Amino acid sequence: MESILLEKIGLFSNKISKDDLKPGDHIYSWRNAYIYSHHGIFIGDGKVIHFTRGGGLEIGTGTFLDKLIVSSITNHGGDNPCPNCGGKHSNTHGVISSCLDCFLAGGDLLRFEYSVSPALFMSKLRGGTCTTAASDPSKEVISRAEFLLLRNGFGEYHVFENNCEDFAMYCKTGLVVGRSYVLGRSGQANSVSAAACVARMVSPWASNAIRLCSDVGMRSDAVKVPVESLVARFNQAKES
């Protein structure tokens, strides 16, 4: 019964098997009782590049956000490195590479959808599963992800303003919002805004419409930014 309900709200509708994976896919896996999902780019050979924040560098907020942030961390457990990728991921942060099993952390494998219709987008009761934006070719996607990995160049992790879904969506599309290079336009972040509308007694249809208008594929101020320019902008912000 629970699995049927989860399917209806779109949590498992994008579930795939490992055999269906293709290099350049944007994949994700639900964490912490489906409160939050962790996203990354599959680059082939069983490896995923993703954006995270290491447990050793966490700054406690004293709120439920701490659990959300920690849930995005790949943790093999203890001091033992992963036998597949050789990584001890619990103390790393930023853009990292790990094996698929470490990325999934025991969760299901799902593929993020691109170029969905506005009607399909609004039918999803939960954000963070699809976008109306089109994906670039897989070679461009992987190139962006590998460049950001090499430079560890995606800025500071923030659960709402600059998160793993933002990273994966940028790798897939090269899109940012406006001249200020705003990220934080992920489906999960937009779902928070939509939930706030529901709390103010706005209809579910209206809240979904707000989420659709915030989607990067629908925004007239979304622009393509070369990965080199994005990294330079993040470095400039770090130095200022």
Kindly list the catalytic residues: 38, 50, 164
SS3 for 89? helix
Measured in degrees and rounded to the nearest 5, phi and psi for residue 133 equal: -70, 150
Yes or no: say if 101 and 40 are a contact pair by the CB < 8 Å rule. Answer: no
Yes or no: say if 37 and 28 are a contact pair by the CB < 8 Å rule. Answer: yes
* Alpha carbon distance, N-terminus to C-terminus of the chain: 53
Site of tokens 């036998």 = 83
With CA atoms as reference, report the closest residue to 98 among 30, 41, 35.
41
Tokens standing for 150?
Answer: 């090499």
SS3 for 56? helix
With CA atoms as reference, report the closest residue to 174 among 211, 223, 127.
223
With CA atoms as reference, report the closest residue to 27 among 84, 37, 35.
37
SS3 for 152? coil
Query: What distance in Å separates the CA atoms of residue 150 and residue 55, rounded to the nearest whole number?
Result: 21
